[in-house]
Each structure stands twice: as C-alpha cells, then as structure tokens.
Chains A and B, each alone.
Chain A
C-alpha cells in the first residue's frame, strides 16, 4: 500500500463517525446510577418528599384538630406515628411539618444560589481590585457564626413566617457558594474557548452567560444538595428553640420541641420528627456525594 493510500485511509477514519455518542449529562447520569448508595438516598429522598406532599391530602385526620381523649397514643393502625399531647395525628402532622421544613430548605437554597452566583460571578469575572474587595468583605462575614447570624437577621426583620425564615437562613449561609462560583469562574476564564470567544469579539455578558455560567452548572447542582442539609438543620434548630415557625403550623424542629416536655414517657413524639430530619439530611449528603463523583470530569471513563 502506498503512502498516499494510507494517508487517504487515515483521512477516511478521521472524517468518520464521532467516537462517543453521549452528552455530558447522560454520562453523569450513568455514573450516578452506578453508585448504589446515592441511588438509594435519592429514592428515599423522593419518597419523603412525596409523603409530605400527599399524606395531608389523603389523611382522614385534621392535623390541627385538638382532641384530648386521643392524646399521647403510641403508633397504631389509625395513627401510624401515634398522636401528640393534643391528640393530633403525627403521621399527618409530620408530613405537614415536612412540607414547611423542606420548603424552607429549598427556598433558602435557591436564594443562596442566586446571591452566591451573582456575587461570585461578578467577583471572579471582573477580578482585580473589585475581586479583592469583595473577597475581603466575604472573609469578614465568614467570621460570623451561622445560627446567631440567622437569629439576628430574624430579630431585625421582626416577624417570623415561612419567607422571613428563608431570608434569614439564606443571608447567613451564601458565602461558601459565592466562593465556589468565584473559583469556578476564575478557572474557566483561562480556558482557550473563552479566549477564542474574545478573539471573535463576543461581548462580555455573552461570554459570562454562554461560556462561563453554563459550565458551572455541575458544581451548582452539587451545591444545592450540600447547602440543603445545613439549611434544614438550621431551620429545625431555630424552631426547636422556639425562634422559628409558630404553632399551630408545624415544622420538624417545632414538632421536636413539642415532644420535649414528655420525652421520657412518650418518646415517639420527639423521635419521629428527629428521625425525619436525620434521614433527609443524610440522604441529601449521599446525593451530593454521588453527584460530585458523577459530574467530576476526572472520573469520566474513556
């Protein structure tokens, strides 16, 4: 075979079909499915969310009806999780509390992402003196302890409801996200495709929106599941202290607080919301771990 023939065949190979046919997200999804712990955690997480949404609708019990003859019942067929000191059905009430706990958790996580992405992206993209200034300000905030900061924020706002809890918890915990996004943007900025975009004359906002932010998506998805447990625990803690959600509304933290008075005689009242919090937080951590492994390009098989 002559050299030109070989070259010709090489060209044929080179112009041939793509070597792999799956997108980045499909790849990540396949790797995630291979991680059994993460898949189990994802299923449990989804089941809890479905239970929170569906149980109060289907339940025959009114979660807020006070009926003392039923007080302090243990688990039974009509009350799978028992009842509390007011005779309220805990199965329904825990689901209702879960709606608020998870709702605040996701609300605050979304707020954290919004603040963190804007702050971090501006800092990393502009760079220079502004970056330096913004990061030193963040260092100062970093020194503040999380929960006292949230309590202070609640005190300044004055009222406690779902939305003020979201605000208080998110403004006390967006710092890590901002740093992570800044770091990502700075790393991505050095990529040749960003330089190519500049050489083409792409405007700065398109570079940010088209080339930088979409490439931080993987990290942001992980951040959601890393921030979520912290926020849910924070909410539970504040409600347990009586600084959070007010009765008769329930969150898991507030329910645990209700069970504290009689925890020796009737431990199920405090155990059920605590278990719910622990399970959810554990699942979120497992999911975050699984996502990190799945989305890390270095673990991508060739």
Chain B
C-alpha cells in the first residue's frame, strides 16, 4: 500500500465577506487557504508552520471536514472526504481526531473527565457503560493521567493535565490520524516537553499519523518528518524536516528561522543584521 494516509490537494477555503442591511450581498472573499497540497504517509508526521493568521488551523479544519472546503480534494485512507455526507462522514470520524490548542476551551466545563473521555465511545455505540468505564481508565493511564480523578471536573486541573485529557479523548476511538492544532502553545515550557514526549511515545506505540501544527519552529522540528511552511494561505516551502531547517529554500522560511531568538547576545546581533537584510526581500 503506497497511497499516503492523508492526501490534500489544491485545498481552498474562502470566506465570503458580506454587507447589507436586510439582504446580504457578497462583496468579496477572504482567501484563508488558497490552494494547499500535501501528503502524509501512514505513521509519519507533517509539521505545518506559519505565523498567526497564515491559515494553518483552517487547513486542518478543512482537512477534517469541520469546515467544508471551497474547492480541492481531501483523500483519507482511500476515501474522498469532500464527497461524504452525514452518516458516512460521521462513521469515518472514528479514524481521524483532533487535539486543540487551548486546554481550557476544549473541555466542556460541565462534564467530568470520565464523561469527556467516554463521549466518543458512547457516540459511536462502542461497548457497554461498564466496559466504557474500563476503557476510560486505560486511556487515562495511557496518557499519564491518574484514573483516580475520573469523576473530577476539568477546571480542577492544570493546563498540562487538561491537555492529557484532550489527548485521551482523541485516542478513544483508536484513530489513524490525529491533527495536533498547536497542542503545546498554551502550556508552560516545562510542560511542553512532557506533552511532546507523550505524543511521540503514543505515535511509536500506536502507529499514529500526525498533522502537527505550530508556530514554534523548535517544537515542529522535534516532532516532524516533513515540514510545510505556510504563509498567507499558501505553502511556500515543503520538504524533509532537517533540510528545511539547514538549507531553507524560500526567503520566508529564512525570515521565520531568523526570528527565532537564540540565547547568545553576540549571535543575536548577527541575527538582527540577517533579519534586516531579509525584511527587504519578504
């Protein structure tokens, strides 16, 4: 089987800009994603980097059909997702999940940890109430969360713990693909490493495929096999992770790399000069 698990080609997401008092008139479009193509082979990680507003998250939502793309194709495990409707799509959602950036907004404050993690199983009618409870315990242990706190509410936990709950929820249906939408951006640096290591361990153990989104280049570098750099809705550079870092081809990538702070004043001076030079070109 040589077909990649996820193949996105020429994906476009345009949002209409509407004006009008009583009847809306479309006066233009925001081209959030404008012709993005990439492939992720099974078991690998594609890192998607870019600054805020470059269309990274929109690309991810459109790939998962949480937003319907304006044009383009999304092939997942041999199926064309953009053509699927209703129940067919719902069933396929078991295979692809998402972990969100903000661990405070991504967990329903009125549901216990146990109910949050069990919801995917319940939704797809997997197991009985009792077997689901056992499954929740296993999942929480898998992500390093003490199952003793299953009946607590999410606001009782720290950001890192909450992110583990979110990961357990994403793993519940045993998916092939997980979209990680800036999963560590909202966390303390010390906790970031823990969550990244957890994601790497899970990938190795479960053979997961990741679409990993971040604006932090170091984070993406440590995670990815391939990297795609996004800027204003298009991918400006794509290639093997090490190559993109050591020999960036596009000026935008170079500017992005030059913007990373280094803990050395002298080298920062060199960087500043580099940034000034690049600012003229980008």
Contacts and interface: CB of A to CB of B under 8 A. Distances in A.
B102 interface: yes
A191 B144 contact: no
Interface string A209-241: 011001101000000000000000000000000
Q: State the 4 A-B residue pairs at the shortest beta-carbon distance, nearest first.
A: A18-B156, A192-B106, A201-B93, A201-B90
Interface range for B = 35 or more
A200 B179 CA distance: 12
Contacts of A202: 119, 123
A192 B156 contact: no
A15 interface: yes
Interface range for A = 20 to 34
Nearest to A218: B110
Most chain B CB within a 10 A radius of its CB, from A19, A21, A201? A201
A262 interface: no
Contacts, number: 96
B46 interface: no
Contacts of A14: 144, 158, 160-161, 191, 194
Given A200-B119, A206-B123, A193 B153 contact: no
A265 interface: no
Interface string A12-36: 0011011111111000000000000
A15 B155 contact: no
B149 interface: yes
Given A15-B144, A199-B98, A24 B153 contact: yes
Interface in B245-275: none
Nearest to A128: B24
A201 B94 contact: yes
A9 to B, nearest CB: 10
B171 to A, nearest CB: 12
A17 to B, nearest CB: 8
Given A14-B161, A199-B64, A201-B90, A21 B97 contact: no
B15 interface: no
Nearest to B190: A10
A200 B100 contact: no
